Amino acid sequence: MPQGKVTTVPDDGLTTRQRRRQAVLAVHTGHGKGKSTAAFGMALRAWSAGWSIGVFQFVKSEKWRVGEEAAMKALGERVTWHKMGEGWSWIKRAGTERDHAREAAEGWAQIKRDLAAETYRFYVLDEFTYPMKWGWVDVDEVVATLAARPGNQHVVITGRDAAPALIEAADLVTEMTKVKHPMDAGRKGQQGIEW
C-alpha cells in the first residue's frame, strides 16, 4: 500500500467513502515487543476522533498499575477499563489460586454484551489471544461474534500466537518480530518502557 493507495478496488458496490467507514478488526501478534503499545496508539487516535473506548485486559492483574492504564484513564469518561484475572496465569502462588478460565469466559461474555449493545466504538482486547490459545474462550465463537458485530465498532486484539482463524477473519494483521530486546542482555523491564 505505497503512499496510502489501495492495490485493488473490490467490486462490492460500495463507494470509497462507505469502504472507508467500515469497521476494522485488527490483530497485533508475534513474539516482539509493541503489540499492546500499538493497540493503545490506535486507542489514542480513536479518542481523538471522539469515540468511546473499552479496554479489556485479560492476563494483567487488576493490582498492577501500568502506564497505559493511567494515561488512558486520564483522558476521561470516554475510556472504560476492565481487567480479568490475577495476572499472568502461569505464575502460581500458594493460597491465590483463581479460576482463570472462568474469569476469561466472563470477560468474553461481557465483551459480547457490550458489542451487542454497541457500548463502545473502539475495543482493545489486550492479551486476548492467550485465552483463545489455552482453550478458555472458543476461537470460532470469537470470530463469528466479531464478524456479526453491529454498527461501526472497531476491535484490536493483541497477544502472541494468534489463531489462524482469527488472522483470516481480521482486516489488519501485524506481526511484531523481536530482533533485539534489553532482556536478552539480562536487563529487567523498566517503568516507562515495559509498563
Question: What structural domains does the chain harbor?
Answer: 34-87+99-179 (3.40.50.300)
Q: Specify whether the CB–CB gap between 122 and 54 falls below 8 A.
A: yes
Q: Specify whether the CB–CB gap between 5 and 153 falls below 8 A.
A: no
Please provide residue 30's backbone torsions phi and psi, each rounded to the nearest 5 degrees.
Answer: 110, 170
Distances (CA, A) of 72 to 4, 38, 76, 86, 91: 28, 14, 8, 21, 27
Across the chain, mean pLDDT equals 86
Model confidence band, residue 2 (pLDDT cutoffs 50, 70, 90): low
pLDDT in tens, 43-91: 999 999 999 999 999 876 565 566 677 788 888 888 998 887 655 444 4
pLDDT in tens, 79-134: 998 887 655 444 444 445 567 788 889 999 999 999 999 999 999 999 999 999 99
- DSSP 8-class letter at 106: H
| Whether this model's pTM surpasses 0.95 | no
Cα 54 to Cα 43: distance, rounded to the nearest angstrom: 9
Identify which of 77, 2, 78 has the alpha carbon closest to the alpha carbon of residue 45.
Answer: 78
Helix axes of 139-147 and 100-117: crossing angle, nearest 10 degrees: 10
- DSSP 8-class letter at 157: E
